[in-house]
Structure 1
Amino acid sequence: MHLRREFENPGPALKTVASRLSRGAYKRCERPSEPSVADSRGRVVRAVGKTQTFLSAAEVDELVALYEQGMTLAQLGERFGVYHRTVAAHLVRRSVPMRVRGLAEEHSSEAVRLYEGGMTLMEVGLHFGVSQGAVKRAVAAAGATIRPRGRRPLVTA
């Protein structure tokens, strides 16, 4: 195929491509019909250094059941060998209601009490197993004043 004949006024980039094509610099290759990698679960596609694992319908059913029993997205991702966002995508496709992230409502009053008692946002977060941002949102929503960073209240004895 002679690209130069197809275009009346080719630019430098097109001239380079046409020249390389005419010299045979570009080789045409066919993709294999079967994926090059497979494991016990089935086909695995390797592209751009990342391996993509396809879960069967039965595996997705198991994933949904385990999520509903309380496993986290990260735990499920590790168990099934997929990224945690892939787990979330499977759950969304199955219309599974996602658990609310952050501090549970029943812990909000306790978190406010601990924070106003002198603990930092980080310490309260570690106590409940959530991030300091989640604690900050819950404490602010409860109407408590957020101290400047690194400041603890003065404790008088």
Structure 2
Amino acid sequence: MLEAYRAGTTMAVLAERYGVRRQTIGELLHREGVPKRRSKRMKPAEIDQAVELYESGLSLKKVGERLQRDHNMIWRQLKKRGVVMRSPNDRPGPRLLDGIQQ
């Protein structure tokens, strides 16, 4: 896991992969003396992609995984863009996006 983080995998993605909280990953990095990276801001094109993925029916979690970003960051950026957020129970079924079923 430490090597994956050093190679660029985010703490959010690692937390999902290993089934732990993001804070747990942070604590492990600290304990092992691995410096944490600052989260990069999302570029407008990346936010556009997040909006498209979310509006196609993907959950925030899936959008975050796809973009290797924390789902909370995705949520904040979508809200700033004025995207109407769904209840987790209101998600439409998967649609085809770029010819690939989600």
Structure 2 length as normaliser, TM-score?
A: 0.52
Residue 82 (1) aligns with residue 33 (2): yes
Q: 2:65 & 2:35 partners in 1: Cα distance?
A: 22
Residue type of the partner of 1:136? W
Q: 2:49 & 2:35 partners in 1: Cα distance?
A: 30
Unaligned runs of 5+ in 2: 1-6, 12-28, 95-102
Share of identical aligned residues, percent?
23
Deviation, structure 1 residue 71: 5.6
Q: 1:116 & 1:149 partners in 2: Cα distance?
A: 13
Deviation, structure 1 residue 105: 2.9
Deviation, structure 1 residue 117: 1.2
Q: 1:119 & 1:152 partners in 2: Cα distance?
A: 8
- Counterpart position of 1:124: 63
Deviation, structure 1 residue 114: 1.1
Residue 143 (1) aligns with residue 82 (2): yes
- Counterpart position of 2:49: 110
Residue type of the partner of 1:107? E
Runs of 4+, deviation exceeding 4 Å: 70-74
Normalized per residue, the structure richer in helix is: 2
Greater RCO between the two (CA within 8 Å, min separation 6)? 2
Quick one: which of 95, 101, 111 aligns to 2:40?
A: 101
Structure 1 length as normaliser, TM-score?
A: 0.36
Taking a change above 3 Å as real, the CA distance of residues 130 and 72 of structure 1, as seen in their structure-2 partners, is closer
Normalized per residue, the structure richer in strand is: 1
Residue 152 (1) aligns with residue 79 (2): no
Residue type of the partner of 1:103? M
Residue type of the partner of 2:74? V
Deviation, structure 1 residue 140: 0.8
Unaligned runs of 5+ in 1: 1-69, 89-98
Number of aligned residue pairs: 71
